[in-house]
């Protein structure tokens, strides 16, 4: 609901991030401006895009037309695999900022480690410079496993503020979350609703909680992310679902309900394995 206050999470660099946002993976570039405009009208102030989504321009137009003050928005974009390396990372952030029509992003992430290229440490050092230049307020990574994180932490003076990883009830990433908590790295869930690839409503643990609180299965799962202290930005093209996914602050899952949803983790990875994914 408009005006509803989204909690923020403190990042390890002193900045903070709204815990609930709106993701635009697979949002058609031609429709992005109108879809993000609807999301902003529904109350979202945190938008997660990426150079690879090819829709940064639409996000930027929606922001420009919204009249919302820049400092009320939290905008994330990501360095694509083909742009890793020092010079190309600097060029890539400049292109993303031009596409978005912004002077800075709130968060810039390395999209995937791409170990086959062997350039994520070098790219991380470039992100440190990009932050120092004021082009990104905070910097982080995405799809990094523990060993990738250890490498960038050992090779630099900055611990990533964020690791954005595949995370949903069937793939809860408990070990990586525990590692991140020890190092004060915030976790963001991608595919938080399982990308629609399995039915949330057909899982009795989720259906029971939805019934008990008079909410939808998607709202239960978003609540599960939030109550776990995770940052989450479900994607939908539909205005009713934008409102539904934002309307998650009027109920709370019990410890038993949280534990029941925790029990659904069976290691189902829906997306690529970060150790081998090398698409450019």
241 touches ligand NAD by CB under 6 A: yes
CB-nearer residue toward ligand NAD: 87 or 127:
127
51 Cβ contact list (under 8 Å, min separation 6): 77, 78, 79, 80, 83, 92, 95, 96, 99, 111
CB-nearer residue toward ligand NAD: 56 or 257:
56
CB-nearer residue toward ligand NAD: 11 or 36:
36
190 touches ligand NAD by CB under 6 A: yes
Q: 109-138: which residues touch ligand NAD (CB under 6 A)? A: 111
123 Cβ contact list (under 8 Å, min separation 6): 79, 84, 85, 86, 89, 110
Q: List, in sequence order, every residue forming a beta bridge with 82; answer none if it has no partner.
A: none
Structure tokens at 37: 């405009």
Q: Which residue has the tokens 């609901």?
A: 1
Binding mask 147-176 for ligand NAD (x = CB under 6 A): -----------------x------------
Rounded CA separation 206/212 (Å):
10
Q: How far is the CB of 209 from ligand NAD (least distance, A)?
A: 15
Strand-pair category, 74-79 with 105-110: parallel
Are the C-beta atoms of residues 190 and 165 closer than 8 Å to each other?
yes
194 touches ligand NAD by CB under 6 A: yes
Q: How far is the CB of 273 from ligand NAD (least distance, A)?
A: 12
User: Cβ of 267: how many Cβ atoms within 10 Å?
Assistant: 8
Q: Is 104 noted as a catalytic residue in this protein?
A: no
Are the C-beta atoms of residues 173 and 167 closer than 8 Å to each other?
yes
Q: How far is the CB of 177 from ligand NAD (least distance, A)?
A: 16
Catalytic residue among 44, 53, 108, 120: 53
81 Cβ contact list (under 8 Å, min separation 6): 52, 111, 112, 114, 117, 278, 279, 280
278 touches ligand NAD by CB under 6 A: no
Strands across the sheet containing 162-166? 22-23, 46-48, 74-79, 105-110, 136-142, 162-166, 186-190, 231-232
- Of 32-40, 99-107, 130-138, 228-236, which segment contacts ligand NAD by CB under 6 A? 228-236
245 touches ligand NAD by CB under 6 A: yes
Size of the site for ligand NAD (CB under 6 A): 24
Q: 9-68: which residues touch ligand NAD (CB under 6 A)? A: 23-25, 48
235 touches ligand NAD by CB under 6 A: yes
- Of 87-95, 121-129, 190-198, 203-211, which segment contacts ligand NAD by CB under 6 A? 190-198
Cα of 122 vs its chain's centroid, Å: 23
* Contact pick of 51, 236, 253, 260 for ligand NAD (by CB under 6 A): 236
Q: Which residues are catalytic?
A: 53
Interaction site with ligand NAD (CB under 6 A): 23-25, 48, 111, 142-143, 164, 190-196, 216, 218, 233-236, 241, 244-245
């Amino acid at each position: 609901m408009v005006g509803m206050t989204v909690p923020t999470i403190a990042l390890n660099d002193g900045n903070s991030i709204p815990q609930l946002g709106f993701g635009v993976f697979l949002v058609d570039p031609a429709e992005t401006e109108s879809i993000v405009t609807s999301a902003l009208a529904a109350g979202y102030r945190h938008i997660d895009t990426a150079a690879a989504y090819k829709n940064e321009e639409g996000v930027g137009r929606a922001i420009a037309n919204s009249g919302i003050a820049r400092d009320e928005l939290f905008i994330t974009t990501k360095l694509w695999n083909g742009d890793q390396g020092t010079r190309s990372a600097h060029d890539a952030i400049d292109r993303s900022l031009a596409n978005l029509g912004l002077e800075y992003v709130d968060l810039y992430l390395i999209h995937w480690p791409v170990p086959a290229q062997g350039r994520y440490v070098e790219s991380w050092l470039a992100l440190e410079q990009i932050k120092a230049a004021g082009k990104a307020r905070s910097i982080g990574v995405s799809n990094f496993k523990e060993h990738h994180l250890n490498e960038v932490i050992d090779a630099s003076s900055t611990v990533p503020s964020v690791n954005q990883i595949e995370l949903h009830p069937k793939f809860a990433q408990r070990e990586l979350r525990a590692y991140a908590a020890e190092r004060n790295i915030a976790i963001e869930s991608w595919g938080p609703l399982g990308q629609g690839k399995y039915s949330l409503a057909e899982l009795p643990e989720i259906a029971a909680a939805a019934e008990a609180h008079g909410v939808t299965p998607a709202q239960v799962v978003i609540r599960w992310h939030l109550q776990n202290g995770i940052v989450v930005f479900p994607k939908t093209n539909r205005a009713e679902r934008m409102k539904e996914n934002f309307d998650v602050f009027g109920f709370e899952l019990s410890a038993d309900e949280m534990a029941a949803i925790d029990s659904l983790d069976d290691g189902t990875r829906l997306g690529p394995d970060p150790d081998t994914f090398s698409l450019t």
